[in-house]
Structure 1
Amino acid sequence: MTRYLISFDDGWMDFTPEELPDIAAAANAVVKEAEAAGVWVFGAGLEAQRASIVATDGTVTDGPFPETKEVIGGFAVVDVDTREEALEWAAKIAAACRCSQEVREVLSDPGQ
């Protein structure tokens, strides 16, 4: 099995606050479906403005970062047999969250 990161840009979300409960319920239903299918690893929404950058020398710079054009709004990790299956889960998440999803294979640890 291969793990895939399914994520979306915070700017891709375009809905009113009143729609949020319905979107949350739809997203939770997809999570429950993925859990029941045995492919769910982990996922969460992310606070867009609370990022910190840690430099190689350990220096920490706290956001928000106005120069950053893309901010990850949320993500899911699924463990599936094929990329096509990951794309199918991404389509379900996209429909539930009402925004496009980006899919990337998580590379395996070469030490294992």
Structure 2
Amino acid sequence: MAKYLLLKHYRGGPRPLDDTPMDQWTPDEVSAHIQFMQDFADGLRASGEYIDGQALAPEGTFVRYDGEGRPPVTDGPFAETKDLIAGWMVIDVDDYDRAVELAGELSAAPAAGGKPLREWIELRPFLSSPMTITE
């Protein structure tokens, strides 16, 4: 088994085929999208492949160590940035091919008009052992 992180990006990276901003979707379209996400997670729970997941609020804060006491804090991420992580899911699957299959299914979440969003899902494996440097 291998663990992967699926990252949902809101209008970041390569553009999804439906580029209608979510704040312009109807309440029914938003509800259908959220229901799809819940059903997707429920299917993974049933198959034993779901570890955890969460939607993220659009507002956030950046914090950085400065070595002088209280770390500096700035507002962010900002909506006008190129990328905003909208949510994440951790899966535990047999292999990379299964992770790609699930990321593809997740990309089909409904968007405006009920059509598949076809957004890019970032698929990241968890580091399972320390990297070895060879010369």
When normalised by structure 1's length, the TM-score is 0.83
Aligned to 2:64: 55
In structure 2, C-alpha distance between the alignment counterparts of 1:20 and 1:85, rounded to whole Å:
27
Please say if 1:88 is aligned against 2:101: yes
1:22-55 per-position Cα deviation (integer Å, ceiling 9, x unaligned): 111111111100001111111111112x211111
Task: Name the CA distance, whole Å, in 1 between partners of 2:121 and 2:47.
Answer: 20
* Residue of structure 2 equivalent to 1:20: 30
Is the alpha carbon distance of 1:29 and 1:65 closer, same or farther for their aligned partners in structure 2, counting shifts above 3 Å? closer
Q: Between 50-59 and 65-74, report the one with greater CA deviation.
A: 65-74
Q: Please list every run of 5 or more consecutive structure 2 residues that lacks an aligned counterpart in the other structure.
A: 111-116, 131-135
AA in 2 matched with 1:54:
V
The equivalent residue for 1:36 is 46
Aligned length: 109
SS in 1 for 2:128: coil
More helix per residue: 1
Which protein shows a greater Rg? 2
The alignment yields a C-alpha RMSD, in angstroms, of 2.1
Question: Which of the numbers 94, 117, 124 marks the counterpart of 1:104?
Answer: 124
Unaligned runs of at least 5 residues, structure 1: none
Kindly provide the amino acid, as one letter, of the partner of residue 17 in structure 1.
T
